[in-house]
Amino acid sequence: MNKLTELCIGIILVISSIILTGCSKSADNIVTTNNNQDPEPVSAESTPQAVPAKAESAPQAVPTTAPTPQAAPTTAPTPMITQAPPDKHNSEASAPSIAAISDAYMEKIIITEACPEAICEKRSDVTYGTVVHETYDSKTTGLTRGVNIVLPPNYDESKKYPVMYLLHGIFGDEYSFTNDSSNKITEISGNLAAEGKAKEMIIVMPNMFAASDKNQQPGFNAEGIAPYDNFINDLVNDLMPFMEENYSVLTGRENQAIAGFSMGGREALYIGFTRPDLFGYILAIAPAPGLTPGRDWAMTHPGQMQEDDLKIKSIEDTPYLIMVCCGTNDSVVGAFPKGYHDIMERNEVNHIWYEVPGADHNSYAIRSGLYNFIASIYKAEE
């Protein structure tokens, strides 16, 4: 081999070596670059971030799923809240209104037209109530006024008794019921209570002529009747407070009754319809003319109220019992009691109306009314 050939071979070898070295460096650079990209901070941070991101996502998924159980508590109260009104509504429906109680109560009352003779007799095995006379100061009239009170047998001040206010007829006074032995007030109330057919009660019999002039007399004219209409003020403002202060009476409409005969029957209706918040039980025996406008044999009555007003204004004050009765042969008040019954029917006032066969304007009718009424009162809420 000549020198020229050797020189060429040497040059080729050098060049080849240079090329191989360059390729090797390029390969190194490529490898280095790829190695740097794998743990590249961006990718490396991305991966840890992806893990936390998933890790945050997982905890978030748990609370997100957790509200679902929490939604159950939220949903749980919802039925309870939605249930409450229905329960309240149902309880209101199951606890009837006063009007419903009144309707059901009156429907159950069975009327006995004539008071049984046995109830009117004094019996040796029964202790009867005591009649006491009292006076009270009336701010309404400016006078001291009298009242008779029937206390139940063995009256005990540590007990409380329901009370019935019993009003006499025109020209009467606090002695009207007790002086006429045929009315049988103590016998009827005592025998019924002894037989367990009536509650023990205090019966209050006032002088209903509430005039400011002690010399004024009642009469069949506007002036002579006005004091009867004024009695509502004396009763509410003076007599009832006197009874509450001095006697062991229960208060509240469920424990208080208003009853009356003739003029007292008219006033019992007027007071009962005007103050049903005070009296849950109303009895009118042969009520006199003048509650509503009308004319009788004696005078023209302007009326204490108009016919359309003969109704209870608030359903919450519906009386438990309204009872009206009259003798079929009443020669004094005639058809007026039935007229009140017709007006109440027209005004959709639930009440009990009945007639006492053969009775005139007398104690026969009084005994019938008292018997049915005393046997029924103070029981509506039981």
> CA–CA separation, 357 vs 364, rounded Å?
10
User: What's the pLDDT at 16?
Assistant: 52
Q: Is 243 exposed, middle or buried (0-12, 13-18, 19+ CB in 10 A)?
A: buried
Torsional class of 282: left (φ above 0), alpha (ψ -120 to 50), beta (otherwise):
beta
The string of DSSP codes covering 189-213 is: HHHHHHTTSS---EEEEE-----SS
User: What's the pLDDT at 139?
Assistant: 98
Looking at the domain covering 113-374, what would its CATH class be? alpha beta
Residue 6, number of CB atoms within 10 A of its CB: 10
What's the one-letter identity of residue 290?
G
> CA–CA separation, 268 vs 370, rounded Å?
13
User: What's the pLDDT at 13?
Assistant: 56
**CA-wise closest residue to 258 among 306, 203, 189:** 203
Please name the residue that has the structure tokens 């040497």. Answer: 10
User: What's the pLDDT at 11?
Assistant: 56
User: What's the pLDDT at 381?
Assistant: 83
Phi and psi torsions of 347, nearest 5°: -90, 10
Expressed in angstroms, the distance from the first to the final Cα of the chain is: 143
Give the three-state DSSP class for 122.
Answer: coil
**CA-wise closest residue to 179 among 152, 201, 207:** 207
**CA-wise closest residue to 228 among 273, 203, 262, 192:** 262
User: What's the pLDDT at 9?
Assistant: 56
> CA–CA separation, 222 vs 217, rounded Å?
12
User: What's the pLDDT at 12?
Assistant: 54
Q: Which value, to the nearest 10 degrees, does the dihedral of the CA atoms of residues 183, 187, 190, 195 take?
A: -110
Are 163 and 114 in contact by the 8 Å Cβ rule? The answer is no
Give the three-state DSSP class for 248.
Answer: coil
* Maximum C-alpha span of the chain: 178
Are 299 and 220 in contact by the 8 Å Cβ rule? The answer is yes
Residue ranges for the chain with pLDDT beneath 70: 1-95
Q: Where are the domains of the chain?
A: 57-88, 113-374
User: What's the pLDDT at 185?
Assistant: 96
The DSSP secondary-structure symbol of 158 reads: T
**Beta-carbon-side half-sphere exposure of residue 355 (alpha carbons within 13 Å):** 15
Q: Give the pair of three-digit tokens for residue 125.
A: 């095995």
- By residue count, the chain amounts to 382
User: What's the pLDDT at 80?
Assistant: 37
Q: Which value, to the nearest 10 degrees, does the dihedral of the CA atoms of residues 188, 191, 195, 200 take?
A: 70
- Per the DSSP assignment, residues forming a β-bridge with 283 are 259, 323
> CA–CA separation, 17 vs 28, rounded Å?
16
Q: Is 85 exposed, middle or buried (0-12, 13-18, 19+ CB in 10 A)?
A: exposed
> CA–CA separation, 44 vs 38, rounded Å?
8
Q: CA of 314: how far to CAs of 25, 272, 295, 306, in Å?
A: 109, 13, 30, 17
203: which residues sit within 8 A by CB, 6+ positions away? 129, 149, 150, 163, 164, 166, 185, 189
Q: Give the pair of three-digit tokens for residue 109.
A: 């009352």
**CA-wise closest residue to 264 among 238, 296, 286, 234:** 286
The per-residue pLDDT for range 67-83, each reduced to its tens digit, is 333 433 333 333 333 33
Q: pTM of the predicted model, to two decimals?
A: 0.76
